[in-house]
């Protein structure tokens, strides 16, 4: 029996989103096929991996992922320059974790200053993230968006509880925006609709359906992403067509598997390789589910994921 490849045609397309300015912009999304299915459609842009840095020293990160940034991570500007100039990264994600009331409770003015300082030191695209405290994120991200005006950054994350102010700030200052909801296809769609109803261009949105780490609910993120992507492509659901974010690092580097020492758990093998593998495997699997933008921490994990992306495109 002759074999006819059962190829699919899709009616929808994921938006392409470009961030940054000048000759250092990056673009992700834009495909009209399931992830890496270039045998039946077009995927013009490869996924982008941004390196995570933060406004305060990463003392809460496990030692194995602090190490690559030893000597530079005490200051966000030095850290950002190290990523750009030494690691040659394509984009940076600055998390303003120090603004969280349970952390250093830094003010929105402090946050704006950090954003300005980092932006004046780099020319690659920047993603600016709050501390995921819905109340505090509103003033912090408004100040950050103003400080980054016209640098075409991504601001995030807007959630159901605080999206109005953040959307307005992203709109007024010409940024892209991450809309995050918690592991639910319908909530994700609803938030995208609410945001576009405010007049925000839907082609400037990025969806974060909420990440989870390998072994800690990854299958939920995986299936939610697959379902969102299928709705975008096979049903041409315009509210589901923004590219998706996998905010990998912060979920991966707090689980036991990336922290426990080999002395405590000899059958798990060395912690350093284990941590890198945990982050890289989580990232790879979410790329297969449909993520186009990843935020990661360990340079070695990013390096191997990039190598496999090279093979996939």
Partner 1 sequence: MALTGVEIFKLLPKTNCKKCGFPTCLAFAMKLAQRQASIDLCPDVSEDAKQKLGEASAPPVRPITFGAGDKAVKMGEETVLFRHDKRFVNPCAFALEIKDTLSEADISSRIEEVLNSEIERVGQRLRIDAVALINDSHDVGRFEAAAKIVAKKACDVPVIICAGNPGAAEAAVKLFVDKKPIIYGANSENAEAMANIAKTYKATLGVTASSAFGGSGGGLDELSTLTEKIKSLGIEDIVIDSGARKAKEIIEDNTLIRRAAIKKNFKPLGYPVITFAQRGDSLIEALIGAIGVAKYSSIIVLSNIEKWKNLALFTLRQNLYTDPQVPMQVEQKIYKIGEPMPDSPLLITTNFSLTYFIVSGEIENSKIPSYLAVMDCEGLSVLTAWAAGKFTAAKIAQFIKESGVENTIKHRELIIPGYVAILSGAIQDKLEGWKITVGPREANGIPAFLRSRAA
Name the site residues for partner 1 (rule: CB under 8 A): 1-3, 5-8, 36-39, 101-102, 132, 212, 214-220, 222-223, 226-227, 230, 254-257, 267-270, 273-274, 276-278, 280-281, 284-285, 288-289, 300-301, 304-305, 307-308, 311-313
Minimum Å gap between C-beta 179 and partner 1 is: 19
Is residue 178 packed enough to be buried (19+ CB in 10 Å), middle (13-18) or exposed (0-12)?
A: buried
Question: Cα(168)–Cα(141) distance, rounded to whole angstroms?
Answer: 10
Minimum Å gap between C-beta 202 and partner 1 is: 24
Instruction: Give the CA count within 13 Å in the CB-facing half-sphere of 42.
Output: 8
Which CB, 117 or 220, lies closer to partner 1? 220
Question: Cα(159)–Cα(179) distance, rounded to whole angstroms?
Answer: 6
How far from 25 is each of 50, 124, 153, 165, 203, CA to CA, in Å?
13, 7, 10, 26, 16
Question: Cα(78)–Cα(76) distance, rounded to whole angstroms?
Answer: 6
**Nearest CA-CA partner of 10 in 308, 233, 199:** 233
State the CB neighbour count (10 A cutoff) for residue 11: 10
Minimum Å gap between C-beta 2 and partner 1 is: 7
Which CB, 3 or 197, lies closer to partner 1? 3
Provide the 8-state DSSP code for 293: E
What is the SS3 assignment for 235? coil
Minimum Å gap between C-beta 288 and partner 1 is: 5
Minimum Å gap between C-beta 77 and partner 1 is: 27
Minimum Å gap between C-beta 138 and partner 1 is: 17
Question: Cα(198)–Cα(299) distance, rounded to whole angstroms?
Answer: 38
Minimum Å gap between C-beta 219 and partner 1 is: 4
Which CB, 175 or 298, lies closer to partner 1? 298
Which CB, 198 or 265, lies closer to partner 1? 265
Question: Cα(263)–Cα(201) distance, rounded to whole angstroms?
Answer: 52
Residue for token digits 């505090």? 136
Which CB, 160 or 257, lies closer to partner 1? 257
Residues linked to residue 17 through DSSP beta bridges, in sequence order: 28
User: Considering just the CA atoms, what is the radius of gyration of the chain in Å?
Assistant: 19
Minimum Å gap between C-beta 178 and partner 1 is: 18
Which CB, 53 or 284, lies closer to partner 1? 284
**Nearest CA-CA partner of 217 in 192, 191, 254:** 254
Which CB, 201 or 219, lies closer to partner 1? 219
Give yes or no for a contact between 296 and 87, defined as CB atoms under 8 angstroms apart.
no
Question: Cα(212)–Cα(199) distance, rounded to whole angstroms?
Answer: 31
Which CB, 38 or 74, lies closer to partner 1? 38
């Amino acid at each position: 029996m002759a074999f006819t490849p059962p190829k699919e045609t899709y009616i929808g397309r994921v938006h392409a989103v470009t961030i940054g300015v000048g000759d250092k912009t990056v673009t992700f999304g834009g495909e009209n096929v399931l992830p890496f299915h270039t045998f039946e459609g077009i995927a013009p842009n490869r996924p982008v991996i941004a390196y995570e840095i933060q406004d305060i020293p990463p003392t809460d990160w496990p030692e194995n992922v602090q190490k690559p940034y030893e000597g530079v991570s005490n200051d966000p500007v030095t850290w950002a320059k190290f990523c750009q100039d030494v690691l040659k990264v394509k984009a940076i994600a600055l998390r303003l974790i120090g603004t969280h009331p349970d952390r250093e409770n830094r003010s929105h003015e402090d946050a704006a200053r950090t954003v300005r300082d980092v932006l004046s030191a780099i020319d690659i695209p920047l993603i600016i993230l709050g501390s995921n405290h819905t109340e505090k994120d509103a003033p912090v991200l408004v100040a950050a968006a103003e400080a980054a005006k016209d640098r075409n950054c991504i601001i995030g994350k807007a959630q159901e509880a605080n999206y109005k102010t953040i959307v307005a700030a992203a709109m007024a200052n010409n940024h892209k925006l991450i809309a995050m909801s918690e592991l639910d296809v319908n909530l994700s769609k609803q938030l995208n609709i609410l945001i576009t109803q405010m007049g925000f261009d839907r082609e400037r949105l990025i969806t974060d359906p909420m990440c989870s780490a390998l072994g800690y609910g990854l299958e939920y993120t995986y299936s939610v992403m697959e379902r969102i992507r299928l709705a975008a492509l096979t049903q041409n659901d315009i509210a589901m067509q923004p590219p998706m974010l996998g905010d990998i690092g912060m979920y991966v580097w707090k689980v036991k598997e990336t922290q426990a020492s080999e002395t405590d758990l000899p059958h798990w093998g060395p912690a350093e390789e284990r941590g890198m593998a945990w982050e890289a495997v989580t990232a790879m699997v979410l790329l297969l589910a449909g993520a186009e933008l990843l935020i990661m921490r360990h340079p070695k994990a990013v390096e191997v994921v990039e190598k496999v992306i090279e093979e996939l495109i």
